[in-house]
Amino acid sequence: MASEIIALTPLDLALAAILVVLLAGLTILLHLGLWKQIVIAGLRTTVQLFLIGFVLKWIFRSDFLFITALALVMLLAAGREAVLRQKRRFVGIWGFSFGALAMFLSSFTITFLALVFVIHNEPWYLPQYAIPILGMMLGNTMNGIALGLDRLTTTAWQGRAVIEGRLMLGQTWSQAIGDIRKDSIRSALIPIINAMSIAGLVSLPGMMTGQILAGNPPLEAVKYQILIMFMIASGTGFGSLAAVYLASRRLFDERGRLRLDRLRG
């Protein structure tokens, strides 16, 4: 029998928010320049989650076209966030395009395969499953892609003399930036590898924790969490590979010359 869910009061949430305020105050004392970002992120989290909470019942009764439109909005928002805080960004829409395309190819494909062939929804786009799973996929894939692109562009900018030297020695553009590309992909995959390595040993992942708190059997929650972890790992890996390879090609023109003027920041 499922246990009764303990409701949280506004005071409970306010107590948790105090910790974030204390963190922001500490960054002021240390002159880190992050307090505004922390406060804004906390406010955005609160407003956005409450808004989605109010409309979820309506979303769950929606048809395929509305769910598709919502998924595209989620993709566009994730694509924007993936490039927003990069130190060196591509000029124009290119940085956004690389991230959004990579997330579409990885997250949407893997979510579709999981819904159709693993979970067996009827219909397969049942929003109670499709929207949360796609949201987890996009959120984690976005983090990996953002880390990979940031490492690629920053390292290429700092190591431009080495790259140009390799080009003068006769290497192709792909060879000249090959080690930087590999390091960027490694950076993108480290968070999800760490998360899988400590799951169940150091931490209980979010989806599993939520299901247990909701009263679901622990073993059933474990099976869903394993599914989600594998999906996130593959989505992050494939998405990061695609984004980094596309972005590394954009750093060179059709003649194989390094074009750092395509970056800003």
pLDDT, position 83: 85
| Tokens at 124, concatenated | 């397969």
Domain membership of residue 49 as a residue range: 1-61
Q: Mark whether 4 and 130 lie in a shared domain.
A: no
Q: Mark whether 228 and 176 lie in a shared domain.
A: yes
In the structure, what pLDDT confidence band is assigned to residue 100 with cuts at 50, 70 and 90?
Answer: very high
pLDDT, position 203: 67
Q: Mark whether 86 and 57 lie in a shared domain.
A: no
Higher pLDDT among residues 200 and 18, named by residue: 18
pLDDT, position 4: 62
pLDDT, position 259: 95
In the structure, what pLDDT confidence band is assigned to residue 265 with cuts at 50, 70 and 90?
Answer: low
Instruction: Give the span between the Cα atoms of 151 and 181, in whole angstroms.
Output: 9
Higher pLDDT among residues 98 and 5, named by residue: 98
pLDDT, position 43: 94
Q: Mark whether 85 and 36 lie in a shared domain.
A: no
**Averaged confidence pLDDT in the chain:** 88
Q: What is the mean pLDDT of residues 27-49?
A: 90
Q: Mark whether 97 and 206 lie in a shared domain.
A: yes
Q: Mark whether 22 and 97 lie in a shared domain.
A: no
Q: Mark whether 27 and 76 lie in a shared domain.
A: no
pLDDT, position 64: 83
Q: pLDDT (tens digit, 9 = 90+) per residue, 61-97?
A: 777 888 888 899 999 999 988 888 788 889 888 888 9
In the structure, what pLDDT confidence band is assigned to residue 1 with cuts at 50, 70 and 90?
Answer: very low
| Tokens at 253, concatenated | 């023109």
Q: Mark whether 125 and 139 lie in a shared domain.
A: yes
User: Domain total for the chain?
Assistant: 2
Q: What is the mean pLDDT of residues 17-35?
A: 91
Q: What is the mean pLDDT of residues 8-36?
A: 90
DSSP string, 92-156: TTHHHHHHHHHHIIIIIHHHHHIIIIII--SSTT-HHHHHHHHHHHHHHHHHHHHHHHHHHHHHH
Amino acid letter for position 229:
M
> What DSSP designation does 258 have?
B
Whether 200 has a pLDDT exceeding 80, the answer reads no
Domain boundary among 10, 29, 61: 61
Q: Mark whether 102 and 175 lie in a shared domain.
A: yes
Question: Cβ distance 136 to 165 under 8 Å?
Answer: no
Instruction: Give the span between the Cα atoms of 145 and 82, in whole angstroms.
Output: 7
Domain boundary among 27, 42, 61: 61
Instruction: Give the span between the Cα atoms of 99 and 193, in whole angstroms.
Output: 20
Percent above pLDDT 90 for the chain: 52
Cis peptide before 132 (omega within 30 of 0): no
Q: What is the mean pLDDT of residues 137-146?
A: 92
Instruction: Give the span between the Cα atoms of 150 and 88, in whole angstroms.
Output: 7
Q: Mark whether 83 and 39 lie in a shared domain.
A: no
Question: Cβ distance 134 to 72 under 8 Å?
Answer: no
Q: What are the Cα distances from residue 191, in Å, to 14, 134, 167, 188, 256?
A: 30, 19, 33, 7, 32
Domain boundary among 19, 43, 61: 61
Instruction: Give the span between the Cα atoms of 238 and 240, in whole angstroms.
Output: 6
Largest distance between two CA atoms of the chain = 71
Q: Mark whether 125 and 155 lie in a shared domain.
A: yes
pLDDT, position 154: 95
Q: Mark whether 25 and 144 lie in a shared domain.
A: no
pLDDT, position 165: 96
The Cα angle at residue 104 between residues 228 and 83, in degrees rounded to 5? 100
User: Which of 136, 113, 145, 133 shows the shortest CA–CA distance to 239?
Assistant: 145
Q: pLDDT (tens digit, 9 = 90+) per residue, 254-264?
A: 999 999 999 98
User: Which of 263, 264, 71, 102 shows the shortest CA–CA distance to 188?
Assistant: 102
